[in-house]
Chains A and B, each alone.
Chain A
């Protein structure tokens, strides 16, 4: 198992380096002079010279990449074109808000999805199962940014129950909670669909195993069977939960744009609008790193729970 963990760790390094190459390449993918991609148009000649030197634009690409990687490793993600603030500061401020949203929506989706999936499995073929399947399909088919708009229309415009925009800076915890409710629900839709499906099929797998059939045949109480099913399908369910949490970090971009939630997604949205490539780079690099590390953690935890996986 430890060799598998070591191997898995080792494989994460080229993946991270590859991801950093893609992020680095963004400056050169941008149309026009790369200097224009990282500097405001009205910069002075001296500023431009200084930036050119810092980025090493006159050197070969490989050297530029290493120089950039070195700066990134020290936490220097460059400066925003729009605000001239260090990108790392903006990312740091917004990341917490995004994590809150990703966590709350994952938990919401996990709670409802697990319940629905288990119920569907135990009532296979009945109307409850069909309803759960319908919810699962809707969850993965709905454009969540549109769902966010619908939530605003219903709960903010018509019912006026919950606020539509922002995160209530300085409004206290209750106001913060009220502001995060709608984005949480919108963001929970996709993982809700996915988790319901996975839980249902995992539970059905366990229910159809011979030992459970035997338990049921022996007339074992439904509650005991239920505990059995939950215990045996738990590793699979937690894996999906971990992966979904990672997707939430990236997926929140669109929902944050709808609700003007001050997270990384909103920052990205602003950067796209202002064509602020350094901010784009910074946010994407940080989120991708987070995503890779999270997947790694899920993998390693999984081996801990179920050592059979390491043999593959």
Chain B
């Protein structure tokens, strides 16, 4: 039978130990200094927010008129006090909770809802696709800030309204990414191979489609966290987010804004907190994107 003489096997033994995709991503993430620093900073910020009730030296909403706008390093108030004499350190710790909740929740909602809608639209195609994607296009008629203001402005201030309006901002973005990733993967031959083996739609989605579209969707969602934090704090800054006397970084920035002529450093602190958090998320998502680009 052997018309062609057997050639040596085309395998060259592979030396390194096999590694699952996500372990490889983790391995690469752990070797990127910028990502490590950003991750460490984020862990500190999240821990500080979680432990605020125990870490904060003062009640964040109790102030004293006599102690208004104490400078950074004032005795008993390491980061000074605000325009109502409330301890800044305590308020920054408590404020981080609100900002993190308002910055992360909408992206998580968008990740869940947007993935479902996008994968559905991409996989089913046809009329479903047109319907879903055209509806999402409508939300793209607004710059993100404006859409958030339109919805929050109509609904009125309050954390639930902020979460709702920001979720509406981010869902369409995730849908677009999920849909295009799904359409791309759906056309690949391994999906056809799974269909040829008699598999139904659900196992194909679970084992073949989701595993391959979740990566790009996750990377995209991670890039949106920083924007969401800036927008959430921005809504509070405009008076559309958390209502006083609660502590929230954007709101603190707004109420302290009038005091810059008295004390310039303390009013800038909440902004520093927003900036550092949003930058850490950006660096982390950059690192994640690079680490996930493993395939040749």
Contacts and interface: CB of A to CB of B under 8 A. Distances in A.
A252 to B, nearest CB: 9
Given A146-B275, A157-B260, A253-B238, A19 B151 contact: no
Contacts of B39: none
A254 B274 CA distance: 15
Interface of A: 11, 14-16, 18-19, 21-23, 25-27, 29-31, 37, 137-138, 140-147, 149-150, 152-153, 157-158, 246-247, 249-251, 253-254, 257-258, 268-269, 271-273, 275, 277, 280, 284, 287-288, 291-292
Interface stretch (B22-30, B54-62, B121-129, B132-140): B132-140
Contacts, number: 150
Nearest to B152: A272
A91 B94 CA distance: 39
Contacts of B268: 146, 149-150, 153
Contact of B253 (A11, A145, A158, A253): A145
Given A288-B141, A288-B142, A291-B141, A254 B238 contact: yes
B234 A250 contact: no
Q: For the complex, would chain A's binding face be called helix, strand, loop or mixed by DSSP majority?
A: helix
A19 B142 contact: yes
30 contacts: A18-B138, A18-B141, A19-B142, A21-B138, A22-B138, A22-B142, A22-B150, A25-B154, A30-B154, A37-B154, A140-B282, A141-B230, A141-B275, A142-B278, A143-B233, A143-B275, A144-B230, A145-B271, A146-B253, A150-B271, A246-B143, A250-B142, A250-B146, A253-B146, A268-B153, A271-B153, A272-B239, A284-B142, A288-B141, A291-B142
A144 B237 CA distance: 12
B279 A146 contact: no
Given A138-B279, A249-B143, A288-B146, A31 B155 contact: yes
Given A15-B138, A143-B271, A149-B268, A257 B149 contact: no
Contacts of B143: 246-247, 249-251, 287, 291
Contacts of B144: 247, 250
B276 to A, nearest CB: 9
A160 B33 CA distance: 40
Nearest to B257: A149
A278 to B, nearest CB: 11
A288 B257 CA distance: 29
A264 B109 CA distance: 31
Contact of A26 (B139, B153, B271): B153
Nearest to A285: B150
Contacts of A251: 143, 145
B146 A137 contact: no
A248 to B, nearest CB: 8
B163 interface: no
Contacts of B138: 14-15, 18-19, 21-22
Name the residue among A19, A30, A144, A258 with the largest chain B CB count within 10 angstroms.
A19
B253 A280 contact: no
Counting from the closest, the 6 A-B pairs by CB-CB distance are A250-B143, A18-B138, A146-B271, A250-B146, A19-B141, A26-B154
Nearest to A193: B282
Nearest to A247: B143
- Of the candidates B150, B240, B278, the one having the most CB atoms from chain A within 10 angstroms of its own CB is B150
Contact of A145 (B142, B237, B281): B237
B154 A141 contact: no
A275 B239 CA distance: 11
Interface in B227-270: 230, 233-234, 237-240, 250, 253, 257, 260-261, 264, 267-268, 270
Contacts of B149: 253, 268, 272, 280, 284
Contact of A158 (B139, B240, B264, B279): B264
Contacts of A273: 239
Contact of A153 (B140, B234, B264): B264
B238 A149 contact: no
B205 to A, nearest CB: 26
Given A18-B135, A19-B141, A149-B268, A254 B150 contact: no
A14 B134 contact: yes
Contacts of B226: 140-141
Interface string B12-43: 00000000000000000000000000000000
Contacts of B234: 143, 145, 254
B134 A149 contact: no
Nearest to A150: B268
Nearest to B262: A157
B156 interface: yes
Contacts of B238: 253-254, 257, 269, 272
B282 A280 contact: no
Contact of B275 (A23, A142, A246): A142
